[in-house]
Amino acid sequence: MGVRERREKEREQRRQDILDSARAVFLKHGFEQTSMDRIAQAAELAKGTLYLYFKNREELLMALIGDDFEELLEMIELAVKKKEPADKKLLHCTTAFYRFSQDNQFFYQLMTQLHFKPECIMNQPSTATTEQFQEQNERLMGLLTQVLQEGVDSKMFQLDHPIHYVVLQLMVASKGTMVVLKNNMIPQTLKRPSDERIIHDVATLLIKGLKCQPVQ
């Protein structure tokens, strides 16, 4: 291995060490209370060194989300490739989203934060990290759009809005359900099944709606 390759490998390892430290700090202190100072201390680096890798806390957070997002996308891609009708594929996508969130507490906490503002990371200057994050979002939208289009082409789904808007509705409904469950916003007087069951039933209800005649 040459000097250049070794330095590149060392840089990549340090970047990964920073991400690992940042993930632990975010989980311990929450998103609002996590600063670059805290991350630098956890990574045992000078804050100036930290800024050589990430311009700000938001870009670092985006890199963490991107790492997790890639795993989730792979799960959803497998669901979309199944030789099943569109309604089953959508249900598998929802299940993948929930189960991945349960196995990844950082991702789950981020998705269910009441005070987290996605625009704070989406409106960052263009970097390799932001471009990757945007590409991942486009892939997710594309996969869901593909499934909906399959449903429309097979006459299973009848949409009264453009497909891209229906995709947005499905994503908002899925995240909204998780926020309600995570923050225990269900009245105590109601009998509550398991969270996974609720997620499944909400997704089933939404999919049934896609099969209805358009509202005139």
Residue 81: burial class (beta carbons within 10 Å; 0-12, 13-18, 19+)? exposed
* pTM across the whole model: 0.81
Average of per-residue pLDDT across 126-138: 83
Residue 1 has pLDDT above 70, yes or no: no
46 Ramachandran zone, left/alpha/beta (phi>0; psi -120 to 50): beta
Tokens (6 digits) for 54:
């990430």
Average of per-residue pLDDT across 23-29: 89
Q: How far is CA 214 from CA 36, 86, 90, in A?
A: 50, 18, 19
Nearest one of 127, 137, 154 to 59, comparing CA atoms: 127
Q: pLDDT, tens digit, for every residue of 158-177? A: 998 999 999 999 988 888 88
Of residues 127 and 155, the one with the higher pLDDT is: 155
Q: Is the dihedral of CA 163, 165, 169, 171 positive or negative?
A: positive
Residue 144 has pLDDT above 60, yes or no: yes
Task: Give me the chain's average pLDDT, please.
Answer: 86
So what's the pLDDT on residue 141? 93
DSSP conformational letter for 32: T
Distance CA 141, CA 164 (A): 8
Distance CA 62, CA 130 (A): 7
So what's the pLDDT on residue 121? 57
Residue 205 has pLDDT above 90, yes or no: yes
Domains belonging to the chain, first-starting first, are 1-53 (1.10.10.60), 57-210 (1.10.357.10)
Q: pLDDT, tens digit, for every residue of 58-110? A: 888 888 888 888 888 999 999 999 999 999 999 999 888 888 888 888 877 77
